[in-house]
């Protein structure tokens, strides 16, 4: 396998994404709504919790895969991947529990998500600088 570390995190994120999509689907069936949120606040929250993961997961996984392919240490990729997964779990939980309002877990989740992307981007830039010099 070429990028086994990223593969682990892609699988975990895919499972979280499916869970959040399932929540949206249950609301769609309940309200018989193929599109939109039927004016229901909890339905809107479920849609946004899923969409928020969909917005951040691709860039995080792409950065991890490029890092792994370019020789960033597996330990570094694991640490960044764990930070991202924990961040996404905290965000989804806090966002859902607060019904889209303020929640400390949501804010920590956002911080962990942004940090994981920032750290991985930094690791890639360091990796490129080391290889180029």
Cβ atoms of 120 and 60 within 8 Å: the answer is: yes
Please list the pLDDT of the chain residue by residue as tens digits (133 residues).
899 999 999 999 999 999 999 999 999 999 999 999 999 999 999 999 999 999 999 999 999 999 999 999 999 999 999 999 999 999 999 999 999 999 999 999 999 999 999 999 999 999 999 987 7
| pLDDT value of position 131 | 82
Domain borders along the chain are 4-132
In whole angstroms, what is the distance from residue 75 CA to residue 66 CA? 15
Q: Give me the pLDDT at residue 132, please.
A: 78
Token code pair at residue 22: 């399932």
Q: What is the pLDDT of residue 96?
A: 97
Cβ–Cβ under 8 Å, residues 39 and 110: no
Q: 38-68 as b/e, with b when 16 or more CB fall inside 10 Å? A: eeeeebbbbbbbbebbeebbeebbebbbbbb
CATH number of the domain located at residue range(s) 4-132 in this protein: 1.20.120.550
| Residue 125 half-sphere exposure toward CB, CA atoms < 13 A | 6
Alpha-carbon distance of 46 to 76, in angstroms, equals 32
Q: Say how far apart CA 57 and CA 71 lie, in whole Å.
A: 21
């Amino acid at each position: 396998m070429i990028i086994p570390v990223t593969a682990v995190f892609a699988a975990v994120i895919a499972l979280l994404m499916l869970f959040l999509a399932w929540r949206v689907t249950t609301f769609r069936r309940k309200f018989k709504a193929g599109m939109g949120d039927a004016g229901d606040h909890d339905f809107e929250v479920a849609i946004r919790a899923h969409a928020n993961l969909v917005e951040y997961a691709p860039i995080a996984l792409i950065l991890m895969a490029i890092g792994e392919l370019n020789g960033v240490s597996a330990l570094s990729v694991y640490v960044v991947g764990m930070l991202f997964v924990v961040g996404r779990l905290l965000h989804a939980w806090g966002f859902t529990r607060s019904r889209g309002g303020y929640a400390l877990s949501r804010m920590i989740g956002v911080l962990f998500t942004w940090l994981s992307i920032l750290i991985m981007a930094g690791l890639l830039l360091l990796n490129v600088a080391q290889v180029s010099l």
